[in-house]
Each structure stands twice: as C-alpha cells, then as structure tokens.
Copies of this chain bind each other. A is one copy, B any other.
Amino acid sequence: VIRAGIAGGSGYVGLELLRYLHGHPNFQVAVITSREHHGQPVGDVHRGLAGITDLHFTDDVANLTNLDLVFTAVPHGESMKLVAQLRAIRSDLPIIDVGADFRISQQQFEQVYGEKHLCPELLQEAVYGVPELYGERVFNARLIANPGCFAHCTILALAPLAMRGLLVGPARVSAVTGSSGSGAHAKAVTHHPDRNDSISAYNVLAHRHVPEIERALSETSPVAIKMVPLSGPFSRGIFATVFATVTDATISVGDIYAEFAAANRFVRLRGTTPRLLDVRGTNFCDMAVHQSGSEVVIISAIDNLGKGAAGNAVQCANLMFGLPEESGLLFPPLAP
C-alpha cells in the first residue's frame, strides 16, 4: 500500500481525491489536513463520507512528510509556500500539486497571478502533468503541477493537431464550466438564483489558464489560444467548443483523433458529440471532431473535478509509482 496525504482536504478537490483514492487498490489516504476543520472527522465536513472513512482532519502539515506521496490542494499562492515547507522537511517527498503555482514559468506566473514566486527552483523541477503528452516526464517526476481544468480540456482537444504542427492561426475556445469549479465556499458567482437557468461569461480573452495551454501546446510550434470561459447552470464539468484551422484541407483529422484516442485510455471519441453526463465523476475526456476543409471543430468534455483535477492527479500518481496508468480509475460515470 502506498500511503498518501492530502493537504487542503476540506475543499472539493480534497473531497474528490478522497473519492478516487477510496476505490484505488494501491493508495491509501493516511493523513488529511485542514486548518479550518482541524480535529473534526472527515465525515462531518464531507457529509457523504460519514460511515465510509474514519479519517480526521489535522492542521499539522509535518504529518504529511512521512508519507509516500502528498497531494496539495490549496489556493494559488499557498501551494508554493506549502510545497517549499514540505520539501524543507523532506527534500525527496513526491508531491502532486493540484493548485496553480507550478504550472507555468516564473515570469508568466508573476505576470498572471501578480505575486512573486517564492521557490523558483522547485518551479524549475516541476513537471506539467498531462499524461497523454508527457507520460515519460511524469513517470520520472517528483513534483507534478496538475493542469487547470479549462487547460486540460483544451489541451487534449488540440494536442493531436498541435503536436504535429498542423495548426494555422489562433485556436478559438468557448468553454462552459460547472459551479463546483468555484470551490466549496459560497460566493456571488455561485449564488443559486443567479446561476440556475443562466449562462454568463468572465475573463473573456484573459483567463489565467491560457498561458498553461499555450505553453503545453507550443512544443512543436507556437500555438495561440483565444478563450471565452462561461459559467454554466450545472455542478460538474467543462464542455469546450474549439475552433481550429489546419494547414491543409486534405488532412484527415478524423484519423488523427482516432489514433490519439486509441493511444490514450482516458480519451474517448464519441461520434457527433460528447456529453457531460458520460464523463461525470470520471477521469475521461470525451471528444468529437468535425471537419470542413481546413476548418476543424473539436468538442471536448471532462469532469472539472475528475480529468480537470483529482482524477488526473491520481493518473499521474499511478505513473509516478510505476502502476498501470488506469489503476483505480476505470469506473463508470454517474449517469443519469
């Protein structure tokens, strides 16, 4: 058994990590931290877990350093402090950060998040955790930066074309997120009467995940992303419409995506359209691709807490520990 810890376990990502790891044959959550809920049974905070786990929250992060692996799920700006603190105690501690602090370059981070990065050397070490692109690097990593939810959904949609250098001009993305993406605490954007039955946009052409996406997709040649993030009236999921132009109208885009799906256990091609329900509660990314000459539309759907956060983090953990990539992750979605 691989003993894992969750730092910042009272949020939705913490809850979802508990859910994924509960059903995993190799990992076991040994320590879970929360400042706010120190000492409380996990089942009192994450009510659905009552009767399922005996874990209690602790606020002593030092307990995490004796474990085999730590997932950090704390707000941006906090991750870098926490990771530095853990590594100061134990320099070889494997860490998967489900926050935002290790995903982009120091310069990008300081520009996007408006604060100084506190541990550039760890940032240097971090591997961006897209197993479908960087499986080898993830396997060898000690510090993983788990991608943002909008980012991962978009990266997988464009990777087959970007990796081959087939994209011309910017890719345009309109992506709707569920309300759980805003976290476990009530805020204006998750006020039910405003969110129910409505859609709205935010951070148009200026979302923080864009630099992650552009960086991950630009290894072959530079890719630019124009992104419109939308807030949708549902709890879970990211549903992205991606418009791309390819270099040549004779390229058989369908074949390229079929190959990508065949090579990746958690990528499924779904005929005309993916549906959020088909990925809800899972680590799958479902896609459909449509082509009209050199114009291509890729539609991709993930669970923002699954492939967009905890599910992918567990997939990375599998790779880091030499387990089959899909260990503990091949279960049905909750549908309907």
Contact = CB atoms under 8 A, between A and B. Distances in A.
A230 B234 contact: no
User: Top 6 A-B pairs ranked by shortest CB distance?
Assistant: A193-B336, A174-B241, A179-B192, A201-B273, A48-B333, A174-B174
Contacts of A299: 201, 204, 228
Interface in A9-24: 12, 15, 18-19, 22-23
A172 interface: yes
A196 B196 contact: yes
Interface string A191-209: 1111111111110110000
B198 A277 contact: yes
Interface string A167-195: 00010101010111000111110111111
- Interface residue range, chain A: 35 or more
B202 A273 contact: yes
A330 B52 contact: yes
Contacts of A37: none
Number of this chain's copies in the assembly equals 4
A258 to B, nearest CB: 14
A288 B235 contact: no
Given A15-B335, A277-B194, A277-B198, A295 B226 contact: yes
Contact of A52 (B52, B237, B280, B332): B332
Interface string A13-43: 0010011001100000000000000000000
Interface in A246-267: 265
A301 interface: yes
Contact of A196 (B205, B281, B336): B336
A292 B172 CA distance: 13
A184 B174 CA distance: 28
A272 B12 contact: no
Contacts of A239: 199, 230
A241 to B, nearest CB: 4
A134 B201 CA distance: 30
A334 interface: yes
B196 A185 contact: no
Interface in A321-336: 330-336
A132 to B, nearest CB: 14
A102 to B, nearest CB: 26
Contacts of A205: 290, 292, 295, 297
